[in-house]
Amino acid sequence: MFKGQPKGLFALALANTGERFGYYTMLAIFMLFLQAKFGWEQSVASQVYGIFLAAVYFFPILGGWLADKIGYGKCVVTGISVMFLGYASLSIPTAANAFGVALMMLALLLIAVGTGLFKGNLQVMVGNLYDDPKYSSRRDSAFSLFYMAINIGAMFAPSAATAITNKFLSGDGLIYKADIPALAHQFMNGTISSSNESVLAGLQAVMPAAEVKAMPMAEFCSYYIDSLSGAYHMGFVVACVSLVFSVAIYFACRSWFKHADVNTKQAASAGVATVELTPKQTKDRIVALCLVFAVVIFFWMAFHQNGQSLTWFARDYTQGFAEGWTKIGFNIWPLALIAVSIYTLFSIFQSEKASGKIISGAVTAALWGGAYWIYTGMPETIEVQPQIFQHFNPFFVVFLTPISIAIFNAWKA
């Protein structure tokens, strides 16, 4: 699986892991942030989310065009820089006024442009590593591993967002309750019903700080919204930090993949022979690409409901706690150990030496034991925030990647 892959794959994959960790940390709480800070209805927040994702997927066209002019590496570095500015703008705790909305929209535009410059061109460089006949047969497994690395970042992102939210709320004498933001805005707007006001009073009564419990309702609502919005802003800071790690990995390991950072124009100017496609070959490839588009458009359209419809569903139609054996799924650490264990388990069969099989078996057992130990140390009942549900998809991608690679290798054999 990992054996025989060029070092550049691991460097580019880790650089993308850091960037995706920041992106999915932001996406995990973005819809909740829009409602908490601005009091927007779900329909309005969903429209903003949809337009943002559309921009994220359309701007790679700009990234591809620019890469033909200046090269893949320059686009990647430029993209990271633009994204950093976007996340930094999103992390600024502005008031919930016209300026705050404008700055948020600018931040989303910068993130979309930066993603368009970064993501596609980084993947092209991965593909270029396998133009070398020495590695060409490993191209398919390489992209599976690359996608797995992306999902490692996505798997940890919701837990990071949750931990930061809880930390800053705790510092203000608060705990997260999913119903409070909407009810607080209703109270401040004067549209709350008497029954909902009673619900809000009950939620205020479970806050851990006595001074918070004693606040007048209007003061509590304003205080909770400001504190929760500030916690979400700090969650966006994580994306800035993760980009710093990504760019550090990119430049530290650049010698591993520098030879792949060459577009057709640069190759021709360097005197490297390039293959010129005939008009028929070009037409056939474009037709094939359009057919692929017809399939993947619907896949990603459904997939990205995780940050929108599924967030609302998790908040409004699932219980806010877990107990029994199911609670292990809402703690990222045993899940991470279980995910790693599938790789060490495969290593038992793939190791050529008996010592390698023994070590892999021992590590697998230790990982399972560690996951069980964490599970037994968890409280009987744990609180579950809506964004935590978003770590299940990347967990299954990471967990199932070696299985899918094994199946495809068996078919090819």
Could you report the per-residue pLDDT of 298-308, keeping only the tens digit for each? Answer: 888 788 887 88
> Which whole-number Å values give the CA distances from 9 to 12, 80, 147, 224, 237, in the listed order?
5, 19, 11, 45, 28
Query: In whole angstroms, what is the distance from residue 176 CA to residue 201 CA?
Result: 15
Q: Give the total residue count for the chain.
A: 413
Query: In whole angstroms, what is the distance from residue 225 CA to residue 227 CA?
Result: 6
> Which whole-number Å values give the CA distances from 253 to 14, 19, 86, 216, in the listed order?
10, 16, 25, 56
- For residue 266, the model assigns a pLDDT of 73
> Which whole-number Å values give the CA distances from 158 to 28, 88, 217, 303, in the listed order?
6, 19, 31, 16
Pairing of strands 381-383, 321-323: antiparallel
Tokens of 404: 């899918």
Query: In whole angstroms, what is the distance from residue 225 CA to residue 154 CA?
Result: 27
- For residue 335, the model assigns a pLDDT of 94
pLDDT by position in tens, the chain (length 413): 677 788 999 999 999 999 999 999 999 999 999 999 999 988 899 999 999 998 998 899 999 999 988 999 999 999 999 999 999 999 999 998 999 999 999 999 999 999 999 988 999 999 989 988 888 888 888 888 898 888 999 999 999 999 999 999 999 999 999 899 999 999 999 999 999 999 999 999 999 999 999 999 999 999 999 999 999 999 999 999 999 999 999 999 999 999 888 877 776 676 665 667 788 888 998 999 889 888 888 888 788 887 888 888 988 898 888 998 999 999 999 999 999 999 999 888 888 888 889 999 999 999 999 999 999 999 999 999 999 999 999 999 999 988 888 888 778 66
Tokens of 120: 């596609």
Tokens of 230: 């500030």
- For residue 117, the model assigns a pLDDT of 94
- For residue 289, the model assigns a pLDDT of 87
Query: In whole angstroms, what is the distance from residue 187 CA to residue 218 CA?
Result: 7
- Picking from 153, 154, 157, 142, the residue whose alpha carbon sits closest to that of residue 10 is 142
- Picking from 198, 176, 259, the residue whose alpha carbon sits closest to that of residue 8 is 259
- Which residue type, as a one-letter code, is found at position 370? G
- For residue 143, the model assigns a pLDDT of 87
Query: In whole angstroms, what is the distance from residue 101 CA to residue 34 CA?
Result: 10
Helix (H) or strand (E) holding 238: helix 217-252
φ, ψ of residue 385 to 5 degrees: the values are -90, 155
Question: What is the dihedral sign for C-alpha 407, 409, 411, 413?
Answer: negative
- For residue 228, the model assigns a pLDDT of 95
- For residue 413, the model assigns a pLDDT of 60
Superfamily of domain 7-274: MFS general substrate transporter like domains (1.20.1250.20)
- Picking from 46, 47, 77, the residue whose alpha carbon sits closest to that of residue 63 is 77
Rounded mean pLDDT of the chain? 90
Contact (CB, 8 A) for 22 and 240: yes
Question: CA-based angle 225:230:232, to the nearest 5?
Answer: 100
For the segment 207-263, what is each residue's pLDDT rounded down to a tens digit?
999 999 999 999 999 999 999 999 999 999 999 999 999 999 999 999 999 988 887
Contact (CB, 8 A) for 243 and 115: no
φ, ψ of residue 275 to 5 degrees: the values are -90, 125
> Which whole-number Å values give the CA distances from 291 to 281, 285, 288, in the listed order?
15, 10, 5
- Picking from 121, 140, 81, the residue whose alpha carbon sits closest to that of residue 263 is 121
Crossing angle for the helix pair 139-171 and 332-350, nearest 10 degrees? 160
Helix (H) or strand (E) holding 381: strand 381-383
- Which residue type, as a one-letter code, is found at position 12? L
Contact (CB, 8 A) for 390 and 24: yes
Would the pTM count as exceeding 0.85?
A: yes
